[in-house]
Homo-oligomer: A and B are copies of this chain.
Amino acid sequence: MNKNSSNIMALTPNTSNKRETVCIYGTGDFGRALGHKLIQSGYPVVYGSRSTQISNLIPKDAEVLGHAEAAQKAAIIIIAIQRQHYNFLTPLAEVLRGKVLVDISNNLKLNQYPESNAEYLAQLLPGSKVVKAFNTVSAWALQSGTLDASRQVFVCGDDVEAKQMVMNIVRALGLTPVDKGSLLAAQEIENYPLQLFPMWKFPMFLSLGLTAFFFFYCLALDVIYTYIYENNNFSFFIAITIPNRVCPVMALILLALVYLPGIFAAIIQLYRGTKYHRFPDWLDKWMLCRKQLGLIALAFASLHAVFTLVTPLRAFVRWRISKGIIAQVLSNKTEPLNNTNAWLSDSYLALGILGYFLFVLLGITSLPSVSNNVNWREFRFVQSKLGYLALILCTAHTLVYGGKWFLSPSAYKWYLPNIYILSLIVPCAVLVVKFVLIFPCVDKPLTQIRQGWERNPKYSE
């Protein structure tokens, strides 16, 4: 494999003599890793350090000078030291006047300080041009060269030219600069690498809790009840049968929970007669995590699909089928085709397939690169029209599948309803209320409210 072709986008070779010198303050881990990478990309690097003794930790080709001398050699100074030590820079204010200072620091927790590190640096050295950058890249990633994750480097700063200079360095290192505007964005940029899927936390805990509840509910009804009263050991139901009951129930409930907050919002707006009051806090949060709820619902629906398709491969199912055939043979009677059964079986399968198909379509549309290519009208068409259609199809799938057991007393073991009856409550409620909301007499005032009309404006303009 050609060495150049393998990571040609990451490194620009043979250009070492043209790059401008970059100064790095601080010889800690990130300072050294960045220095290594800069030298690889052809930048002369000079370190500013208290002790100018050359440590073998510092890249061979780098120079090490005192802080003031190092700063004079370069137009760009990367501040690879911690915020607590920033005040040692104040005596250097004169040397750093007009220089570009790159703040790469991160904090240990969200919103640790009242102002961002970069803004603090800009306050300390008002004569310098502070640019925030590189804090989203880890030293380990720079060092090992394996930038598998995002190559995006968020850059912000008040001076456009200084920002351009830093963005050129970012590009030369094989990374993609993303301009986030003025230095006000620094707080946001510093908080970014500290997050761990913040939007996913609530949906994940909710679905884990519900899954656990439904799992033990099924375990009680399908395994324990059968063992006690029918003396059958169906413990192996834990592996596939019970998951394949819990997954569709979770998928249906979570999909309904995606559309429930929209219903609440409409009712609140109709009641208040205005859209200019904030929704209650819980509703705001709920609306913000609808995408995540939907994607988790899609994951459950996918698991349900695979668990179902795998059915004919299960030893238990093969045994049950052959038992049925043998029983027919031995009793010497051939059952005729039950047309109603054929209709029911085929139509719940078809409804499920179509509902799942629309569901996958919704999932694909929520991929960032796809949703960036549709406008608002298209997005609302897909997420609202197709989404409700998916909900209707999936609810119908469950209704047709379980319909015949609704009134059968044998389905109520320990007087508890089967879980697919529980799973139908939320989606049916959502669909009924939505059906009411699209009646013209309700829809018209709602549309007016959403276009800015108010029922009781206190002052008319």
Q: With a CB–CB cut-off of 8 A, which chain B residues contact A5? A: 110, 191, 195, 198
> Count of A residues near B, CB < 8 Å?
157
Contact of A49 among B4, B458, B461 (CB under 8 A): B461
CB-based contact B141/A357 at 8 Å: no
User: Would you call A126 an interface residue if the criterion is a C-beta within 8 Å of the partner chain's C-beta atoms?
Assistant: no
Q: With a CB–CB cut-off of 8 A, which chain B residues contact A308? A: 310, 313
A-B contact pairs, 8 of them (CB 8 A): A28-B452, A53-B459, A144-B265, A149-B379, A149-B380, A236-B339, A239-B350, A319-B337
A244–chain B nearest beta-carbon distance, Å: 9
CB-based contact B346/A290 at 8 Å: no
Q: With a CB–CB cut-off of 8 A, which chain B residues contact A377? A: 193-196
CB-based contact A240/B349 at 8 Å: yes
User: Would you call A299 an interface residue if the criterion is a C-beta within 8 Å of the partner chain's C-beta atoms?
Assistant: yes
A311–chain B nearest beta-carbon distance, Å: 6
A29–B310 alpha-carbon span in the complex (Å) = 53
Question: How many copies altogether?
Answer: 3
Q: With a CB–CB cut-off of 8 A, which chain B residues contact A381? A: 196-197
Q: With a CB–CB cut-off of 8 A, which chain B residues contact A345? A: 313-316
Known: A193-B376, A314-B349, A369-B370. 7 other contacts (CB 8 A): A1-B285, A4-B111, A149-B371, A168-B181, A303-B357, A319-B337, A368-B373
A347–B361 alpha-carbon span in the complex (Å) = 30
User: Would you call A46 an interface residue if the criterion is a C-beta within 8 Å of the partner chain's C-beta atoms?
Assistant: no
Residue of B nearest to A191 (CB): B8
The answer to whether residues A376 and B137 also contact, given A144-B287, A146-B287, A459-B55 and a CB cut-off of 8 A, is yes
Interface residues of A: mostly helix, strand, loop or mixed? helix
User: Would you call A27 an interface residue if the criterion is a C-beta within 8 Å of the partner chain's C-beta atoms?
Assistant: yes
Residue of B nearest to A188 (CB): B12
Question: Which of A85-93, A326-334, A430-438 faces chain B?
Answer: A326-334
CB-based contact A342/B329 at 8 Å: no
Question: Which of A13-21, A214-222, A409-417, A420-428 faces chain B?
Answer: A13-21
* Complex interface residues of chain A between 317 and 359 (CB less than 8 A to chain B): 318-319, 321-326, 328-330, 334-335, 337-339, 341-347, 349-350, 353, 356-357
CB-based contact A150/B371 at 8 Å: yes
The answer to whether residues A341 and B315 also contact, given A15-B184, A371-B150 and a CB cut-off of 8 A, is yes
A13–B290 alpha-carbon span in the complex (Å) = 24
CB-based contact A51/B461 at 8 Å: yes
User: Would you call A230 an interface residue if the criterion is a C-beta within 8 Å of the partner chain's C-beta atoms?
Assistant: no
Contact of A54 among B57, B196, B343, B459 (CB under 8 A): B459
User: Would you call A231 an interface residue if the criterion is a C-beta within 8 Å of the partner chain's C-beta atoms?
Assistant: no
CB-based contact B376/A187 at 8 Å: no
Contact of A150 among B192, B311, B372, B454 (CB under 8 A): B372
* Complex interface residues of chain A between 50 and 98 (CB less than 8 A to chain B): 51, 53-57
A82–chain B nearest beta-carbon distance, Å: 14
The 3 closest A-B pairs by CB, nearest first: A29-B452, A369-B369, A149-B379
User: Would you call A451 an interface residue if the criterion is a C-beta within 8 Å of the partner chain's C-beta atoms?
Assistant: yes
